[in-house]
Amino acid sequence: MANDRAAAETVQGLFLQHAAALRGFILGLLPDRAAANDVFQEVFLTVTQRAEQYRPDSSFLPWARGIARNKVLEHFRRCRRQPQPFDDRLLEVLADAAGRQDDAWEERRAALAECIQELAPRARQILELRYAEAPASPPEIARQLAWTVNAVHVALARARKFLQDCTRRRLAAGGA
């Protein structure tokens, strides 16, 4: 019993440590935010239940991703009416391609944090509305700012592209 508890605590700690990476993985395969959150919760439960199966000398993230991938597939099987963006084969290929940058996760986070500071105020405002605790949809943002919905989409895309370029630049400079 004590061993079970210790194992559960270990994997829960690791889950928290890698929560953002796991959430990203699930969201990549299942872009519906609410559904992705549900799967995230299921993964947390399953990881806890199977804590004894996790070998501490192995890498946690691939093991948890395997569970998350199965949970996403289960979700699509359960919700057949919901359109599945990718077929099972492509989901497998995509899932296999995830995790190439696991080692650089913290560096990417730090670089991105600095890049967010460099955003123009308007771009930052739009991102904050879109990523708020109760996120505003692009039409809601458009109403608030008296813009067109398309202009909001363009501004969001530009802000994300800026952040991607900026992050790559910073990582390259750091690496050099």
Partner 1 sequence: VEDRLLELVDAYLENRLTDPETGELRELLRTSPEARQTFWEYVEQHVLIDDLLAEARGRDLALAEEAAPGSSGVRGCRPVIGDSTPSPQPLSPKGRGASQQSRHLDGGRHFSAWAGALTAVAAGLLLAVGLWWRAPAPEPLAMVRALGGDVQVIDLSGKMVPVTTDAPLAVGQALHVGDEDSQAEVSFADGTQVTLGAGTDLRFPASARKEARRLHLDRGAVQVQAAAPALVVTTDHARITASATRFRLYREATASRVELEEGKVRLESPAGTNAVEVDEGSFAVATAEARPMVPQPLPPSHCRLRHTLLRAGDAVCFSRDGTGLIASHFSRGWKAWDTHDGTLRAAAPGSGQRASGLALTPDGATAVALGNAGTAMLWKIGEPQPVKTRLREKQLRCGAVSADGRWLAQGTGTGEVALWEADPGHGSISLRQSVPLKPSRVVLSCVGPHLAVSRWGGDILVFEAKTGREVGRYKLRRTPAPLALSADGRYLAAYASSDGLVLFDRQADARHTLWPGEVTRVEHVEFSADGRTVLAGLDDGTVRAWATADGRPVLVLDTGHRLVNRVTASADQSLLATVGDNDCVKVWECALR
Which stretches of the chain bind partner 1, using CB under 8 A?
A: 5, 8-9, 12-13, 15-17, 19-21, 23-24, 27-28, 31-32, 34, 37-38, 40-42, 44-45, 85-87, 90, 93-94, 97-101, 105, 108-109, 112-113, 116, 127-128, 131-135, 138, 153, 156-157, 160-161, 163-164, 167
Residues 6+ apart with CB under 8 A from 79: 35
Nearest distance, CB of residue 120 and partner 1, angstroms:
15
Structure tokens at 39: 């799967």
> Judged by CB, which is closer to partner 1: 32, or 63?
32
Return the closest-CA partner of residue 144 out of 48, 135, 167.
Answer: 135
Nearest distance, CB of residue 135 and partner 1, angstroms:
8
- The Cα 92–Cα 73 span in angstroms is 10
162 in Cβ contact with 106 (< 8 Å): no
Nearest distance, CB of residue 41 and partner 1, angstroms:
5
